[in-house]
Amino acid sequence: MNHVIILAAGSGKRMETDKDKMLLKACNRPLIYYPIMIFNEHQEIDRITIVANKGNIKEINKIIKEYYFRKVSKVVIGGSTRQQSLLNGIEAIGKDLKNKDIVLVHNGDNPLPEIKEISEILKRINSHGACICGHFSQSTVKEVDKEKITKTHPREKIFLAETPQGAFYEIFKKALHKAKNKKQEFTDESMLFELIGQKVAYVKASKNNFKVTTQSDLLKLKMILGEVPEDYRVGIGMDSHLFAKKEKGLTLGGIFIKNELKLEANSDGDVVLHAIFNALSQAIGEMSLGFYADKEFKKGIKDSEKYLEIVLKKIKLQKFEINNLGIMIEGDRPKIDPISSKIKTSLSKILNIPYERIGITATTGEKCTIFGEGLGIQCFAMVSLKISA
């Protein structure tokens, strides 16, 4: 049989939060949910044991019940060290284990091991007796003393251990017994196996199999899972105008192109700024441009930049700022690519956002619409907002 022991008894001090790390949420589910779910769904895993602490054992039992993790057979209290927690987990299931059963040990704060790497580890254990997973170092590794570098290690030979790590039960028994007699503490299972001279195979871990130790790690996990932060907003806006018959003087994204036909409108007809207005207003739950423009027309204001000031003030009052902006223009003329840099420079100044956070694309739409046929311009804008720093 193949057993998994998930270690979830640590204090998580480096996370710098009062809440137990295993219970911190990502995509509205606690951290410990993810590794339990993956091992519970793995067809080659038979039983799961969770090693908890006194503070989180009640909640972990609730999670197991709520999500019907049927492979979880036991939840036990861990010890003061990782090795003691492992020993508690092994002892809890020892009567059910046979020498050639495989035991995998996994950190509860490594939430995203992949099914295929777990399978490969099981395969390597059957061939070699023991196996771990990890990542090859991307940096040059230096060994130092208190004052200077003493040695440089070839990075291609540096392997950064992750979990799961595992071996046959008979290897675990022998290694834990020797470690106890020598009164030695180890930080991972591979060190235990090495203590008794056991050769350990390795598997390259999947890129998302990493340990959540700090708040930045938790943020990375949330991004991988697709969680949208509460302080994040997205809006989409659109505007379109037809060209005037003869009058020239086109305003687009705040730049003036004197030799192109003007767009018919009560204002300067800047479809780019109008689409941006609607996107920004939608993102904060406000009204469309037309609602505000009717009031401004009475004042004789035609400059679309002035209209945009209305929504920019509202965004500032709600303590948001623009994160990035995407513009999509449909029309046969003018050709957008040659002037996109000028438009981006203009928008960067008007909106007070970096040039590189603005994207502009264009299409004729294969002349399927009146805009593609050159009778006007249609513009879509998509914007994201974030809380002001």
Q: Are residues 197 and 242 in the same domain?
A: no
Q: Pick from 205, 225, 245: which residue ends a domain?
A: 225
Q: How confident is the model at residue 298, as a pLDDT?
A: 67
Q: Are residues 66 and 206 in the same domain?
A: yes
Q: Pick from 225, 257, 280: which residue ends a domain?
A: 225
Q: Are 330 and 362 in contact (CB under 8 A)?
A: yes
CATH code (residue 358) = 3.30.1330.50
Angle of CA points 264, 270, 273, to nearest 5°: 150
Cis peptide before 30 (omega within 30 of 0): no
Nearest to 166 by CA among 136, 137, 198: 198
Q: Are residues 21 and 98 in the same domain?
A: yes
Q: What is the pTM assigned to this prediction?
A: 0.72
CATH code (residue 75) = 3.90.550.10
1-38 b/e with 16+ CB inside 10 Å = b? ebbbbbbbbbebeebeeeebbbbbebeebbbbbbbbeb
Q: Are residues 118 and 202 in the same domain?
A: yes
Q: Are residues 167 and 305 in the same domain?
A: no
Q: Are residues 367 and 325 in the same domain?
A: yes
Q: How many domains does the chain have?
A: 2
Q: Are residues 163 and 291 in the same domain?
A: no
Task: Output the tens digit of pLDDT for each of the chain's 389 residues.
Answer: 999 999 999 877 778 788 899 999 999 999 999 999 999 999 999 999 999 999 999 999 999 999 999 999 999 999 999 999 999 999 999 888 999 999 999 999 999 999 999 999 999 999 999 999 999 999 999 999 999 999 999 999 999 999 999 999 999 999 999 998 988 889 999 999 999 999 999 999 999 999 999 999 998 999 899 887 777 899 999 999 999 999 999 999 999 999 999 999 988 999 999 999 999 999 999 999 988 877 766 677 889 999 999 999 999 999 999 999 999 999 999 999 999 999 999 999 999 999 999 999 999 988 889 999 999 999 999 999 988 86
Q: Are residues 70 and 136 in the same domain?
A: yes
Q: Pick from 187, 203, 225: which residue ends a domain?
A: 225
Q: Are residues 216 and 241 in the same domain?
A: no
How far is CA 245 from each of CA 137, 195, 311, rounded to the nearest angstrom?
A: 65, 87, 32
Which residues fall within 8 angstroms of residue 68, CB to CB, at 6 or more apart? none
Q: Are residues 190 and 264 in the same domain?
A: no
Q: How confident is the model at residue 227, as a pLDDT?
A: 81
Nearest to 38 by CA among 78, 69, 3: 69
Q: Are residues 184 and 236 in the same domain?
A: no
Range of the domain at 244: 232-387
Please tell me what DSSP assigns to residue 306: H
List, in sequence order, every residue forming a beta bridge with 144; answer none if it has no partner: 149
Nearest to 240 by CA among 272, 194, 192: 272
Q: Are residues 26 and 129 in the same domain?
A: yes
Q: How confident is the model at residue 250, as a pLDDT?
A: 96
